Amino acid sequence: MPRILVTGGAGYIGSHTAHLLRRRGYETTIVDDLSRGHAHNVEGFPFHRLNLRDTAALTAILREGSFDAVIHFAAFIAVGESAQAPELYFLNNTGGSFSLLEAMATAGINRLVFSSTAAVYGTPESTPIPEDARIAPVSPYGESKVMVERALEWMDRYRGLRSVVLRYFNACGADPESPLGEEHDPETHLIPLLLRAVLTSEPVTIFGEDYPTDDGTCIRDYIHVRDLAEAHILAVDHLLRGGASKVYNAGVGQGYSVKEVIRAVEGVTGRSVPFRVGPRREGDPPALVASSTRLQTELGWKPKYTSLAAIVETAWRFASRQAR
């Protein structure tokens, strides 16, 4: 079976993908510095605790493991934090990725799946957003990913590095077949915060209800983490078959407003969500919805979690287990 190195495999999307790879028989090794991820997510895996910027150590791991491909998740993900400390994002996300590219070139590994983000589009001119929409990030986080995407184009041309870039929309939910789930600290994402509000009765703040949408709250494309993990497996298989470099949106193509998500949480939990309405959060575009036809038609990806209720159900199971 193919040998895959997963960077950031202790994090939310990385751990879900690593576990799915292993269940499907891929020989899966994880690299993570555990600065944001969790040691319990890598239990039972060959694991190296390492910051990607340690190029020499990373090169040695890549050489010794004779990997067929790398799936690169390791990154900071908080848009707000990236505005407070842009240097951190450029150093960790862009710098870490560039170090990985050098290590891969030295070790002669030329297949990479890269975690990018819908944040590369900034505030899109229209939705659904196709992959060839204007790239115009409005946060250092988004820019830190754009810089890597650009480098990958040059690495393809001059180094023969084949890559699949997946631009994630709003990853959420938890794997029903493993103990994994969303555990960011601090948590900034909507669904876990709504579930926490239900569990603690502490109100959550809706960031603005004066957006130009039907109910005034922001619209996002919520993609279940398990469906996202499947997209990575299809992406790596594409590269292992000798496929060309590609860029795909990873979203379902269906948008839900914050208030619709609240109603879904109330439906699943059977309890009301305590909330208050606050001001807008800086940098939040009114609507981010993917055109996901390219991923579906070219790689045969088909999301299984197409209803918000089904997504929230898995997140609720995880959150209530954690609260016990």
Check if the beta carbon of residue 72 is closer than 8 Å to that of residue 114. yes
For the chain, the residue count is 324
What does the alpha-carbon distance between residue 166 and residue 160 come to, in Å, rounded to a whole number? 19
Which single residue brings its beta carbon nearest to ligand UFG? 218
Residue closer to ligand UFG, measured from CB, 69 or 258? 258
- Shortest distance, position 293 Cβ to ligand UFG, whole Å: 18
- Shortest distance, position 6 Cβ to ligand UFG, whole Å: 19
Q: Which is it for the CA torsion 198, 199, 200, 205, positive or negative?
A: negative
List 12, 26, 121, 141, catalytic entry: 141
Is residue 40 classed exposed, middle or buried when 0-12, 13-18 and 19+ CB atoms within 10 A define those classes?
Answer: exposed
Q: Name residue 249's beta-bridge partners.
A: 167
- Shortest distance, position 275 Cβ to ligand UFG, whole Å: 8
- Shortest distance, position 273 Cβ to ligand UFG, whole Å: 11
Residue closer to ligand UFG, measured from CB, 21 or 288? 288
Q: Which is it for the CA torsion 73, 258, 324, 229, positive or negative?
A: negative
Helix (H) or strand (E) holding 224: strand 222-224
Q: Is 256 a catalytic residue?
A: no
Q: What are phi and psi of 239, to 5 degrees?
A: -70, -40
The single-letter code of the amino acid at 258 is V
The single-letter code of the amino acid at 286 is P
Residue closer to ligand UFG, measured from CB, 206 or 233? 206
SS3 64: helix
- Shortest distance, position 204 Cβ to ligand UFG, whole Å: 5
- Would you tell me which residues interact with ligand UFG (CB under 6 A)? 77, 79, 117-119, 169-170, 188-190, 193, 204-207, 218, 220, 258, 281, 284, 288
What does the alpha-carbon distance between residue 39 and residue 42 come to, in Å, rounded to a whole number? 6
- Shortest distance, position 280 Cβ to ligand UFG, whole Å: 8
Residue closer to ligand UFG, measured from CB, 62 or 258? 258
Residue closer to ligand UFG, measured from CB, 16 or 162? 16
Residue closer to ligand UFG, measured from CB, 30 or 218? 218
What does the alpha-carbon distance between residue 227 and residue 214 come to, in Å, rounded to a whole number? 28
Cα 223–chain centre separation: 10
DSSP letter for 15, please: H
- Point out the residues that are catalytic: 141
